[in-house]
Amino acid sequence: MTDSVRGYTTERSRARESEDESESTDSSEQLHCPECGGQLTTDTEHGETVCADCGLVVEEDEIDHGPEWRAFDSKEKDQKSRVGAPTTQMMHDKGLSTNIGWQDKDAYGKTLSSRQREKMQRLRTWNERFRTRDSKERNLKQALGEIDRMASALGLPENVRETASVIYRRALADDLLPGRSIEGVATSALYAAARQAGTPRSLDEIATVSRVEKDEIARTYRYVVRELGLEIQPADPEQYVPRFASELDLSDESERRARDLLKTAKDQGVHSGKSPVGLAAAAIYAAALLTNEKVTQSEVSDVANISEVTIRNRYHELLEAEEQLQVP
């Protein structure tokens, strides 16, 4: 009995070894030409695998995983493409659900009959109900809509909106919303995302487009950052300079001069405890004067959303820092 078991085990091990050898042989044959051992290349145009050395066709009629149509420009490609948009965090269902269009027309552009229009309206209603089946999804839909609205008003790029949506989703998953408004958490998520992306907006700017007060935004922002452990560096005044210079239509020389003033202020420690927006506005105003460009304090105040008094105070501090640097 023992000898038969031992013999059976030996036979199985030999069978395994032969299988392994055949698999390794097959894989090596797939990588190299079976005739000359040369390197194999894939000809996607003809759907063939051929040897680069001797030209032997090893495999033919391969499956083409690309589209069956051809396009010669991006517009034609968009027209012929039948796939949907990529998934996004900016939609509560990540863009995976069906959206029924509002144009009451068929595939040929013809207007639907009254009965068909009523049917499509009922389908839209039920589709919206199925897309937001519970309170969390309704909450998420409202919040992400708020984030998109505020980001559009502030001119923030898409990557900031994506990041803000992810921050809000994390806050919702960690149950940080009880006792706080949806708008407040959505606004604080957008404020944090803008700072993380290096395109910060001041609290005053955020408050002008938000539906909640400035104090609530600041309070909720501190809470969300603390609870989620977000790593956000203090705002750099230089990050505001390009936007202010662009809105005031200043030259590149003025923008460069403003950056130099802010760097000098940092070296002298003037920026400590000061509002980065105020410093950036003052640097823009000082740089415009130094480069003989006509800009008033009122214009800078309107763009930066900060008082003229603050601009004057920071302006004098920046010039004093510049003078101290020049003194030997």
Q: How confident is the model at residue 55 (pLDDT cuts 50, 70, 90)?
A: confident
Determine the distance from the C-alpha atom of residue 74 to the mean position of all C-alpha atoms in its chain, rounded to a whole number. 23
Q: Is the dihedral of CA 106, 110, 111, 114 positive or negative?
A: negative
d(C-alpha 241, C-alpha 239), whole Å: 6
pLDDT average, residue stretch 81-91: 72
For residue 155, CA distances in Å to 44, 136, 252, 300, 306 come to: 44, 28, 21, 19, 19
Q: How confident is the model at residue 82 (pLDDT cuts 50, 70, 90)?
A: low
Binding-site residues, please?
33, 36, 51, 54
For the ranges 36-40, 69-73, 201-205, 273-277, the lowest mean pLDDT is seen at: 69-73
- Location of each CATH 1.10.472.10 domain in the chain: 135-228, 237-326
Q: Which of 147, 181, 151, 153 is nearest to 167 (CA)?
A: 147
pLDDT digits (tens, 9 = 90+) for 267-296: 888 777 788 888 999 999 999 998 998 889
d(C-alpha 313, C-alpha 21), whole Å: 82
Is the pLDDT confidence value at 263 over 60? yes
**2 or 31: which carries more pLDDT confidence?**
31
Which single residue is written with the structure tokens 């980001």?
A: 151
Q: How confident is the model at residue 5 (pLDDT cuts 50, 70, 90)?
A: very low
pLDDT, residue 218, reads: 93
Note the CATH number of domain 135-228.
1.10.472.10
pLDDT digits (tens, 9 = 90+) for 122-169: 988 888 777 777 788 888 889 999 999 999 999 999 999 999 999 999
User: To 10 degrees, what angle do helices 276-290 and 308-326 make?
Assistant: 70
Angle at 204 between CA 198 and CA 205, to 5 degrees: 55
Determine the distance from the C-alpha atom of residue 139 to the mean position of all C-alpha atoms in its chain, rounded to a whole number. 21
**Mean pLDDT rounded to a whole number for the chain:** 83
Binding-site residues for Zn(2+), please?
33, 36, 51, 54
Point out which residues pair with 59 in neighbouring strands.
49
Is the pLDDT confidence value at 113 over 60? yes
**Which helix (H) or strand (E) is 49 found in, with range?**
strand 48-51
For the ranges 54-63, 111-120, 290-299, 305-314, the lowest mean pLDDT is seen at: 54-63
Phi/psi at 272 (nearest 5 deg)? -65, 125
CATH of 237-326, one of 1.10.472.10, 3.40.50.1240, 3.30.1490.20, 2.60.40.1930: 1.10.472.10
**Which helix (H) or strand (E) is 313 found in, with range?**
helix 308-326
Whether this model's pTM surpasses 0.75: no
Instruction: Give me the DSSP letters along 133-184.
Output: -SHHHHHHHHHHHHHHHHHHHHT--HHHHHHHHHHHHHHHHTT--TTS-HHH
Determine the distance from the C-alpha atom of residue 27 to the mean position of all C-alpha atoms in its chain, rounded to a whole number. 42
Determine the distance from the C-alpha atom of residue 174 to the mean position of all C-alpha atoms in its chain, rounded to a whole number. 22
Q: Which of 9, 8, 12 is nearest to 20 (CA)?
A: 12
pLDDT, residue 234, reads: 81
